[in-house]
């Protein structure tokens, strides 16, 4: 039985917290552990950590990955998800109401400035949403000139790319923000380091999110530096906790353990059948019902603890999605 809860539409954060008069680290923080559920603010994260705990952060930066296009004479948007090793891209065609699922191999879509993309084949045999496509111009330049951040219907207004970057962003490559780290600020990181909390970087470039109920995450490119792996091992040997900042960091860490490789592509799906082996906790936003991310949270913290956290979040009217509130789930 999966995590179950009803999410009222008014609990979807519709704008950055700064537009509501809050600092980035002023969003609410729900902390769930075997000791119970506590409610706080993100700026007080250090109260729930110990010297020697390790926060593993994703340094991937967010791309302006949405571009206007024309398909069969009608305006649509193209979401550029992931660059492939052969230079092609995984893309999603979208109308205002949601993804377009009637793509055809060989179909050509017009992009601004005379550019175009051509659909090659579905990215997965059973997928009608994501396509491998070739593009007539270099995509990084196209996105830099004409792209905008991907946003969904619960965010009605447009916000600058800077609102979709985390303080750790160094290497552009994510179609959507690794949003669990958004509430971190330079001053908060400084306080945590001063208090003895450790940080280590890795990279996982996120693709577009999976809006279909139960749709598993797609393959994503990751890199775990050798010093990060060494620090993870040392912290665990000293009895410290390894806490992933976001599902992306958890997936990358666990992939490096399972695959025995520090970089590459990961298809790893964490869940009850594949529990976390090195991650002891996770800082994460709140995910929609039936999202595959919930299975990953179960893999880290256990189903009962995640269910208690989400029940409390709904009851206390926390805000969901990338501009919303945050949770810290600890299994020990």
Q: Rounding to the nearest 10 degrees, give the CA dihedral for residues 291, 4, 276, 322.
A: 40
C-beta separation of 87 from 76 below 8 A:
no
Element (H, E) at 261: none
* pLDDT number for residue 75: 97
Element (H, E) at 6: none
Give 116-119 contacts, CB < 8 A, sequence gap 24+: 117/69, 117/78, 117/89, 117/91, 119/91
* pLDDT number for residue 259: 63
* pLDDT number for residue 8: 95
Count other C-beta atoms under 10 Å from residue 225's C-beta.
16
Sign of the C-alpha dihedral, residues 27, 149, 295, 9?
Answer: positive
**Rounded Cα distance, 112 and 174, in Å:** 22
DSSP assignment, residue 271?
B
* pLDDT number for residue 234: 96
- Secondary structure E strands in the chain: 28-33, 36-41, 54-58, 60-62, 66-71, 74-83, 89-95, 98-99, 108-110, 116-122, 130-135, 171-174, 198-205, 220-223, 242-245, 263-266, 281-285, 326-330
* pLDDT number for residue 218: 86
**Rounded Cα distance, 102 and 275, in Å:** 36
* pLDDT number for residue 97: 86
Reported pTM: 0.95
Q: Please give the chain's pLDDT, 332 residues, in tens.
A: 578 999 999 999 999 999 999 999 999 999 999 999 999 999 999 999 999 999 999 999 999 999 999 999 999 999 999 999 999 999 999 998 899 999 999 999 999 999 999 999 998 877 789 999 999 999 999 999 999 999 999 999 999 999 999 999 999 999 999 999 999 999 999 999 999 999 999 999 999 986 555 567 788 999 999 999 999 999 999 999 999 999 999 999 999 987 676 899 998 889 888 999 999 999 999 999 978 899 999 999 999 999 999 999 999 999 999 999 999 999 97
C-beta separation of 165 from 180 below 8 A:
no
* pLDDT number for residue 211: 53
* pLDDT number for residue 126: 76
Q: Residue 158: helix, strand or coil by DSSP?
A: coil
* pLDDT number for residue 193: 98
* pLDDT number for residue 2: 75
* pLDDT number for residue 290: 79
């Amino acid at each position: 039985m999966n995590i179950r809860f009803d999410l009222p539409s008014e609990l979807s954060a519709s704008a950055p917290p700064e537009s509501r008069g809050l600092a980035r680290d002023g969003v609410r923080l729900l902390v769930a552990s075997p000791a119970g559920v506590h409610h706080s603010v993100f700026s007080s994260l250090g109260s729930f950590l110990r010297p020697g705990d390790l926060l593993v952060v994703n340094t991937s930066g967010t791309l302006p990955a949405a571009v206007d296009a024309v398909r069969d004479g009608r305006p649509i948007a193209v979401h550029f998800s992931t660059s492939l090793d052969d230079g092609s891209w995984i893309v999603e065609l979208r109308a205002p109401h949601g993804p377009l699922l009637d793509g055809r191999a060989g179909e050509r879509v017009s992009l601004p400035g005379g550019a175009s993309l051509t659909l090659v084949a579905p990215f997965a045999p059973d997928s009608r949403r994501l396509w491998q496509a070739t593009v007539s111009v270099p995509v990084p330049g196209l996105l830099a000139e004409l792209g905008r951040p991907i946003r969904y219907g619960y965010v009605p207004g447009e916000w600058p790319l800077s609102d979709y970057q985390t303080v750790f962003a160094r290497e552009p490559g994510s179609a959507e923000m690794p949003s669990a780290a958004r509430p971190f600020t330079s001053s908060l990181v400084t306080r945590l380091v001063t208090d003895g909390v450790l940080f280590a970087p890795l990279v996982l470039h996120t693709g577009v999110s999976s809006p279909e109920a139960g749709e598993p995450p797609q393959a994503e490119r990751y890199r775990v530096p050798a010093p990060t792996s060494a620090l993870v091992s040392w912290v665990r040997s000293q009895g410290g906790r390894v806490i992933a900042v976001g599902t992306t960091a958890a997936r990358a860490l666990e992939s490096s353990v399972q695959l025995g490789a520090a970089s590459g592509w990961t298809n790893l799906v964490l869940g009850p059948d594949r529990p976390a082996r090195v991650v002891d906790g996770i800082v994460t936003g709140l995910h929609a019902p039936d999202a595959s991310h919930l299975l990953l949270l179960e893999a880290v913290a256990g189903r009962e603890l995640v269910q208690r956290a989400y029940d409390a979040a709904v009851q206390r009217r926390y805000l969901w999605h990338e501009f919303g509130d945050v949770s810290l789930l600890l299994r020990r």
